[in-house]
Structure 1
């Protein structure tokens, strides 16, 4: 086995917008490669056939699915972020909550100083944690 990489499948041409959004929110993050659908290919021209990006050094892959599926993201798989300060956690939570949905609002649930779980505007689930 060479490596294991989280893979996100977006629908409706949202992959590039999501990557740009995530890499703008988290420092030391970048889009590393984008292969786009061309004319007369399976997906809409210019959308993401396959891309890679990193968030704080963790590599992710993603696509824009050219097939409309009856499923999307689920909160049972989430991106877990350990924050260094309460301000960092609060700021990231508020930004990710824009047009998103709280699953566990920011609070002290007993297992850390502060925690929040949400689905962002793309449907991707995030857990933000400030350890004790």
Structure 2
């Protein structure tokens, strides 16, 4: 078996915008490959057929789905980030919640120093934790 890689399926041609947002707010992250749909292919020309990016060394894959589905992302699968400082947690939270939704505002919930959970503007769920 090869490695296990989280895979994000975006709709409406926003995969590249999402990747660029994520790598801009998480230091040490980058887009590693992008293959785009060309003219007369099964997706909208220029959208992401398949891409890979890393966030702090964790590889992700993503696509722009050319098929409209009755589902999108759900908070039951989220990206969990262990932060080093309260400032880092607050900064990430503010950047991720912009045009998104708070699931658990930053607070002390008893299991760590600080914790926050958001759905970002792309519908992806993020848990941000500052351990004891």
Equivalent residue, structure 2, for 1:19:
19
Equivalent residue, structure 2, for 1:66:
66
1:21-41 deviation per Cα after TM superposition (whole angstroms, max 9, x unaligned): 000000110000000000000
**Count of matched residue positions in the alignment of Structure 1 and Structure 2:** 132
Superposed counterparts of 1:95-106, under 5 Å: 95-106=95-106
State the SS of the aligned residue for 1:79. strand
Equivalent residue, structure 2, for 1:31:
31
With normalisation by structure 1, the TM-score equals: 1.00
Unaligned residue ranges in structure 2 (runs of 5+)? none
In 2, Cα distance between equivalents of 1:46 and 1:58: 26
With normalisation by structure 2, the TM-score equals: 1.00
Unaligned residue ranges in structure 1 (runs of 5+)? none
